[in-house]
Amino acid sequence: TQPSVAFLGLGHMGGPMAANLVKAGYEVTGYDPVAAAQEQAHKDGLTVADTAIAAVADVDVVITMLPNGKLVLDLYDEILAAAKPSTLFIDSSTIDVADAKAAAERAHAAGHRAVDAPVSGGVAGAAAGTLAFMVGGSEADFASAHPLLDVMGAKVVHCGGSGVGQAAKICNNMILGISMIAVSEAFVLGEKLGLTNQALFDVASNASGQCWSLTSYCPVPGPLPASPANNDYQPGFAAALMDKDLGLASNALRANGVEDGLGLRAAEIYHRFNTEGNGGLDFSAIVNDIRTRSEG
């Protein structure tokens, strides 16, 4: 028989992820303090619990999808004692590597099993069940989590021990943030040097400057009709989320003595962009910020 599931945090991501588990035949009890999320969960066929403790009391697996690490740790402190022995805790929130390790330690200390399983793929991937999961935890716990993650995602990778799934997520997104800034700076420099965006794209996309930020997500309109640049920079991947993920990368860079590099600089650039009111734009809109700052 399929394991029973409690799903805590039914927001933009967690709501559709939980709905996909129900569609696949899992019995899912949901909890979220927000009334709108509860109503949607009810429509999606979840059993809606009044409290997090009530949701986890009699299930085999607890999945969390929360905004940040403090909320995950606080919630674990609230619910770990209420869960059955050996419950499998899967945290899919994007949080600090250190918080992910602490969450797994607390779950283990309470007699449970735990993996961190952050995702990429965004709200569209959550709805379509095509997320990519990066998983940290033991072989055995990964094996237990795998069938559920397969329902919600298209790609599931076991990256290593506790916290290493989060490590994979922030390392990847750090590459993405840095490379988007690099590509954007090159377009703005090219413009100043009399090089058209199309000509730079045609050269770099076939040369050693080739990268995903250029050839799959080009930050200037024209060369790639499907990129957010052609749609007023509607996300896509919102700059606020890039700001968050680079903040987590910065924490890990500092905590591990990887200092003074492009990761910290990229985090500053996206943090400023976000706090100046651009968080709702796609992260490739950074090209316009660079161009504006280069005027005069």
Cis link prior to 236 (omega < 30° from 0)? Answer: yes
Binding mask 123-162 for ligand NAD (x = CB under 6 A): x---------------------------------------
Bridging pattern class, strands 5-8 and 61-64:
parallel
Catalytically active residues are: 169
CA-CA distance, 5 to 67, in Å (whole number)?
A: 20
Query: Alpha-carbon distance 157 to 292, whole Å?
Result: 40
71 binds ligand NAD (CB under 6 A): yes
Task: Give which of 73, 135, 118, 98 is closest to 256, Cα–Cα.
Answer: 98
Contact assessment for residue 83 and residue 111, using Cβ atoms and an 8 Å cutoff: no
Residue number, 7 or 201, with CB nearest to ligand NAD? 7
Tell me how far apart the alpha carbons of residues 109 and 128 are, in angstroms, rounded to a whole number. 35
* Rounded least distance, CB 272 to ligand NAD, Å: 20
Q: Considering only residues 5, 66, 134, 287, which one is a binding residue for ligand NAD as defined by CB under 6 A?
A: 66
Quick check: 75 binds ligand NAD (CB under 6 A)?
Answer: yes
| Shortest CB 186 distance to ligand NAD, Å | 27
Residue 33 or 147 having the CB closest to ligand NAD: 33
Out of 67, 147, 222, 280, which residue is the one contacting ligand NAD (CB under 6 A)?
67
Q: Which is nearer to ligand NAD, 11 or 163 (CB)?
A: 11
Q: Which of 193, 184, 263, 262 is nearest to 218 (CA)?
A: 184
Kindly provide the residue ranges of all beta strands, DSSP E only, lying in 10-104, ordered along the sequence.
28-31, 47-48, 61-64, 88-91
Contact pattern for ligand NAD over residues 13 through 52, marking x by CB under 6 A: xx----------------xxxx--x--------------x
Q: 14: helix, coil or strand?
A: helix
- Residue numbers of the site for ligand NAD (CB under 6 A)? 8-14, 31-34, 37, 52, 65-67, 71, 75, 93-94, 119-120, 122-123, 241, 244
